[in-house]
Structure 1
Amino acid sequence: MAMVTFVDETTSGGRAGGWEFEVAEERLALGELIRRRMVREVAERRAAGLVQPPGQPDAEQQAELALAAFRRGGFLVLVGDRQVTELDEVVDLPLGTEVTFLKLVALVGG
């Protein structure tokens, strides 16, 4: 079982505090890791009362939106210090791995 830390960053320098996520496997395809993150986030928002009917998002639908955003270059994923570029690429997740989701922010005037 692996414990990884998810961190959200932006290219403009913003960094959200990391949160830990337990993964049963020590190796996992990036697409599956993104999907599991989205499922957990939706579940946590529901549990915290942040998502109320009728606007409850479907976790799998949110996962598909995140995967589509990755495919079109909306964000990068770094596992440790290595960028993972393919959703089907299997990544090693030893204990303490940091997974960074780097949202790309457009440059002003560019």
Structure 2
Amino acid sequence: MAMVTFVDETTSGERRDALGLDIAEERLALRELIRRRVLEEAPDGDDTDRAYDRAVEAFGRNGFLVLVGDRQIEELDELVDLGPRTEVVFLRLVPLVGG
């Protein structure tokens, strides 16, 4: 079983642990990791399908990068190896002022 820690980070260096999640699989596609995070973090009554769709759309338009260890995950269907202590960083990209 893997313990995945999701971390939110910005390009300015701000860092916040979002949550830890036990995952039985040894490998998952990035889209499934995003789905599980959304399911865990969505408040009761929120539309998780809509939140998931927004997250996938944001990834597609480069609203954030995903880093696992020293590797950037570039595709939603790319498989991520999960170990006992895997850190998944969601690096939010902030647009330049005026651009």
Same fold by TM-score, threshold 0.5 exceeded? yes
In percent, how many aligned pairs have the same letter? Answer: 62
Instruction: Measure how far apart 1:17 and its partner are.
Output: 2.8
- For 1:62 and 1:98, the matched residues in 2 are separated by 22
Q: Which amino acid aligns with 1:99?
A: V
- For 1:41 and 1:16, the matched residues in 2 are separated by 14
Q: Which amino acid aligns with 2:17?
A: G
Kept in 2: contact 1:3–1:23 (CA 8 A): yes
Instruction: Measure how far apart 1:60 and its partner are.
Output: 1.6
Kept in 2: contact 1:77–1:102 (CA 8 A): yes
Kept in 2: contact 1:8–1:101 (CA 8 A): yes
Q: Which amino acid aligns with 2:9?
A: E
TM-score, normalising length from structure 2?
A: 0.92
The structure with the greater share of residues assigned to strand is 2
- For 1:8 and 1:75, the matched residues in 2 are separated by 10
Q: Which residue of 1 aligns with 2:91?
A: 102
**5+ unaligned residues in a row in structure 1: which ranges?**
47-55
Q: Which residue of 2 aligns with 1:7?
A: 7
Kept in 1: contact 2:3–2:84 (CA 8 A): yes
TM-score, normalising length from structure 1?
A: 0.83
Runs of 4+ with >6 A deviation: none
Kept in 2: contact 1:35–1:64 (CA 8 A): no
**5+ unaligned residues in a row in structure 2: which ranges?**
none
